[in-house]
Amino acid sequence: MSFKPLPKIIQSLEAQPEWESIRVYRRLLESWEEVVEPVVAQHSRPVSFSRQILWIATANSVWAQTLTFKRYQILQRLNVLVPDTVKDLRFSTLNWVNREQQGERKVSCYGICPRCHCKTPVAELERWSVCALCIAEEWSQTSQ
């Protein structure tokens, strides 16, 4: 009879705040494109989520200002899609990855992650066979 420390496995799965926050972050990332207009989505992107504050990278300071003015409106819509999650939005040009700099490469280089079936940069699939979020999940499980 083989011995499997099942309670220990369950315990370690439940004790993973990172795992849950990765899932929440991914939901917010998807919701962002739904709550803002396409032109806004092109110039802004959620980059991190911590302590109920969603940080959005913007293409430049004009977008950061424009979105700061609109943030309660955006927050309301976001709260419909992802209730009781985000308390405030912060906008910054830090962490913005210039799409022009990445070039056409980025547009044509998406595949589908076999695990979560999300659109994923091919570079991530080549490196890990899954997307960055899935590999992060895997790492957080093995590190426990």
Asked if 115 interacts with Zn ion (CB under 5 A), we say yes
Three-state SS for 66?
A: helix
Please select the residue that binds Zn ion; options are 116, 136, 138, 141, rule is CB under 5 A: 116
Counting contacts by CB under 5 A, is residue 113 touching Zn ion? yes
* Residue 95, phi then psi, degrees to nearest 5: 70, 5
CB of 82 to Zn ion, least distance (A): 19
The number of C-alpha atoms within 13 Å of 73 and in the hemisphere containing its C-beta is 7
Least separation in angstroms between CB 130 and Zn ion:
5
Beta carbon of residue 117, minimum distance to Zn ion (angstroms, whole number): 7
Two tokens, residue 136? 């992060």
| Cα gap 111→20, rounded to integer Å | 24
Torsion angle (degrees, nearest 10) of CA 89, 90, 94, 98 = 40
Q: Which stretch binds Zn ion (CB under 5 A): 18-26, 27-35, 94-102, 131-139?
A: 131-139
Asked if 22 touches Zn ion (CB under 5 A), the answer is no
Q: What is the contact surface with Zn ion in residues (CB under 5 A)? A: 113, 115-116, 130-131, 134
